[in-house]
Structure formats: structure tokens, C-alpha cells
Structure 1
Amino acid sequence: MTTTPQGTFRVLLRMQINPGMEAEFEEVWQGSTEAVTGHPACLGQWLSKSTDEEAVYYIVSDWRDEPGFRAFESGEEHLAHRERLHPYRSQGSFTTMHVVAHIEGDAGTAESAHAR
């Protein structure tokens, strides 16, 4: 298990998916992640589905720094990736942040020990 370095630039997308299109959205998202994770500044990406809101997903991506993310955001790969996901989205929001601290819990520490 890896820890999140302090200073990491994190992006959080909240996406409301059109009703009945959730499975197809997940499939398309998983099939197009290379557009994001293939960028040299990308540290990783996660897709999560809300347990409280119908058809709401959260996409989190971590970046080495903000300039690296901004370079990706203005690139052709990002535009193509957005185009693939756009038909599934009815609305969404976008938040950016800097990771200030990461403290690993006991379960994460135990998993790291088992991996060795």
C-alpha cells in the first residue's frame, strides 16, 4: 500500500449519471482510464459509487502537482476522455485541492505488513 505524499494535487469530480446508464458508464470509464493514468503527472485514479444518492459517482485523481494536472486538463487526451463520458452525465461538479496530510490507519499498516 502506498501513502499519499503531502502536496499532492487532488481532483474530485461528482457525476450524476443518466438513469439506467450506470453499468455502461462504469464500463466506458474503466475502458478509458489510460487517457488519465497514462499522463506522466498522474499518480492514480479511483471511481466510487455513492451509497446515498442514486446514480451518483465520484472520480478522484491524484497528481504530482497542480501544473501537471493543468497540462493534462488542456491536452487532447483529456478532451477525448471527456467526450467519451459526456453522454452518460446529466450533471456534475468539480473540486480541486492540495493534500495537506495523510495519516495511514491501522488497517492500512497491517495490509502493508502482509504484502511484504
Structure 2
Amino acid sequence: MHSETSRALSGREGCKQTSAFAYAYIQGMRGKADMRKLHEGDISLTPTQERLLGYIAAQTTISGAARATKKELSQLMGCSVKTIDRAITRMSREGLIKVEPCHSENGGQLSNTYSVVNS
């Protein structure tokens, strides 16, 4: 995880910044035909989901994807691992993010990579 981004996203200012990334991402997707749910208002994200989407959008812009464990994301967002798991599952199901599992050479599970879907 990028320490500059982690520091930038902590506290109230970080919440505003990540929400701004999420808002900009959602606004950008409103014009895409396959993202009609966003345009029609069928997708309503919780504040934590907005912050997480903002973080993933920022990391996608900076380095191509966010790579972190759910525990790291939960610490960054200030919530439980279960909340992060539900948020990732929902945003993936809604087509907002793409989740790619990463494995070590011996087949062990590493942290996943998360990126915004640019349709």
C-alpha cells in the first residue's frame, strides 16, 4: 500500500478526498451505456463504500490498481474487515470494480488487486 496515499486518506480531509475521487468516478461513468444503473440512481453507496471506491479509483489512476489485504483496507477506512468484504462484494457485483486474486509462486494466496472498471 502506498504510504503517501495512506497518510493523505486518513482523517476527515482524507474522507473528503476519497469521496471526491468516488464522486468523480461515478460522474464519469454516468454517461456510459453499460453503467445505466448509476445514471438512473439504482446504485447508492454507503459512505464507507464511497471512500473505498475513491481509494481504488485513486490507486487505479496512480499505479494501475490498488493492491492491499482486506485487513489493510479496513484499517485505512476505519471499519471492520467484514464491512470491507461486503463493500468489495457489492461493488464487484455492481460492475464498479474488478477484483483479481494474486498468488505466490508456491500457490499461496497474496493480497488481491482492485481496480475500477472502465467500460
Give the TM-score normalised by structure 1: 0.30
Which structure's CA Rg is the greater one? Answer: 1
**Between structures 1 and 2, the one with greater helix share:** 2
**Between structures 1 and 2, the one with greater strand share:** 1
Could you say which structure has the greater relative contact order, defined with CA pairs below 8 angstroms and 6 or more residues apart?
1
